[in-house]
Amino acid sequence: MKKSKYRVGYGKPPKHSRFKPGQSGNPKGRPKGAPGFKAELEKELRQLITVTEGGRTRKLSKQLAMIKALCAKALKGDVRSVQLILGHCSDRNERAALQPNELDALDQAIIEAFRRRSGQEE
């Protein structure tokens, strides 16, 4: 048997058990193009279901039906539902506050100076 100077150890697998050129990972793993969890969840939430609301039958997406059920539970006094809804509302309000709608006079002056220097007159 021929002895080689290659030492097998951590990060150095035996040459016979390495991936062959063009092969890597788990050959029986998730196929390419297979949807992930997020895509599958979004697809499921878009599906329509029939809901009876106020004596009328309507078709709603599962997502909208869940939102309506959450709001109904909150109105009945379920504390966790109220916290979830109010937490989501406060997150949206904070994000909206971070995006100012109008520029103050100093910001306008800086933008005008930049436009003059770069030759972008209006």
What does the pLDDT look like over 82-92, one tens digit per residue? 999 988 887 77
Q: What global pTM score does this model have?
A: 0.51
Using alpha carbons, list the distances in angstroms from residue 98 to 44, 67, 91: 33, 26, 11
No. of helices (H) and no. of strands (E), the chain: 4, 2
Question: Taking the domains of the chain in order of start, what are their residue ranges?
Answer: 45-101
Is the predicted pLDDT of residue 54 greater than 70, yes or no? yes
Rounded (5°) CA angle 100-106-107: 45
What does the pLDDT look like over 100-109, one tens digit per residue? 667 778 888 8
Contact 60, 51 (CB under 8 A): yes
Is the predicted pLDDT of residue 63 greater than 90, yes or no? yes
Two tokens at 70? 């959450």
Is the predicted pLDDT of residue 19 greater than 70, yes or no? yes
DSSP state of 12: B
* Neighbour count for residue 10 (Cβ, 10 Å): 5
